[in-house]
Amino acid sequence: MNYKKTTLKNGLRIITVPMKETQTATVVVMAGVGSRYETDKEAGLSHFIEHMFFKGTEKRPTTLDISAELDAIGGEYNAFTSKDNTGYFAKVDSKHIGTALDVVTDMYLNSKLEEKEIEKEKGTILQELNMYEDMPMRNIGDVFESMLYAGTELGREIIGTKKTIKSFKRKDFIEYMRRFYMANDTVVCVAGKFDEKKIIREIGKIFGKMAPGKKAKIFKVKEKQEKPELKIKFKKTDQTHFVLGARAYHWNHKDRYALALLSVILGGNMSSRLFIEVREKRGLAYYVRSAVESFEDVGYIATQAGVEHKNLELAVKTILAEYKKVSKEKVNEKELQKAKDFVKGKTVMGMEASDEVAMFFIDQETAKKKILTVAEKFALIDKITPNDIMKVAKDVFQNSKLNLAVIGPHKNTKELKKLLNL
């Protein structure tokens, strides 16, 4: 799949990915700023801005004006805030690409940020925060990262705190956007069926006057963990949720593909080692999965599951045994090939959808040193050997790098501490 990168005079980057076989088109506009760029007083501001962009522009004064225009053409649209960036997107029937581009870019460049709307939206976001508190299956990831990156911007929740959410005024939004929403840190990606020359020309007109600037640097995390760590969030729940993992690699690390395959082998699908051991053989969990998370400077590999309260120790023991096993015994070629084919299959299926394609390219442009095509990524995956998997497993699954976060009605931590050698 071919793509084209165009850089405007003000530094704004445009990625275009034509797809002849689809009838859809997706527009994504992404700012290279997320929650880890905020000060403590600004915690949650990146996410709040994302909400406010849907509250009206001069051209489309209300939320209804924005949503009705995209709903009228059957569009799918939304936005997201991560710790590293904030994105806005719309996916439409390709004949409506002009509307999608106009609406998304209008929101990005011309939002009114009215004080009365800010005050109203505080209630919405506070309810969003409360909702996450009532979803331990989702909240456990935040608890895990707050332990891993305690005392740093990366350890804070993206949504912020009740105190910071209530404190924001219009001037805070204006000042934050002045610092971070700049042309040379904005990427626009269009994927699907469209006229490439025309789209590049249109984006150039829309963003040509956007001002560039100097982006503030993140405070990089300095990892100094010397022994396993345990964090329990006491909550009366019907099920205990936990994340057990280890510190691993940043997003440009040379071993990132081996780490990704290791994650698949452990808990990436329904025939993975942990799914079979934890769910099928022992009946300990309904869901159990492993995944890799990476940032510019740090990263981790972790397994998450939900279990009956009394089975927490056994589930943790079972996962630790698999971590140890994969560190000491080479995976066979067949199992490794299965993991490679799984990743490739999922990628290829995703590449049939214009929104997945747009995110594949824009994520790399905002985060990585260079964009790799699907074929180039597959070539790197194919090079991974059983020795590479074992080397990475030995490196990351060290006792001193282990971390366990738990949400549930647990106070006695004696057995867990013993399992972690604390």
As annotated, the active-site residues are 50
Minimal CA–CA distance to 54: which of 124, 3, 4? 124
Burial (CB < 10 A; 0-12, 13-18, 19+), residue 415, is middle
What CA–CA distance (Å, rounded) separates 236 from 242?
Answer: 14
Q: Are 182 and 211 in contact (CB under 8 A)?
A: yes
Q: Long-range contacts made by residues 172-176, C-beta under 8 angstroms, separation at least 24? A: 172/42, 172/45, 173/45, 173/48, 173/49, 173/52, 173/113, 173/118, 174/113, 176/38, 176/42, 176/45, 176/46, 176/49
Contacts of 58 (CB under 8 A, 6+ apart): 110, 112
Q: Are 230 and 413 in contact (CB under 8 A)?
A: yes
Structure tokens at 13: 């980057």
Length of the chain, please?
A: 422
Contacts of 106 (CB under 8 A, 6+ apart): 57, 59, 60
* Paired strand residues for 89: 28, 78
Q: Are 37 and 46 in contact (CB under 8 A)?
A: yes
Q: Give the helix/strand (H/E) hosting 411.
A: none
What CA–CA distance (Å, rounded) separates 155 from 36?
Answer: 8
- 3-class state of residue 61 by DSSP: coil
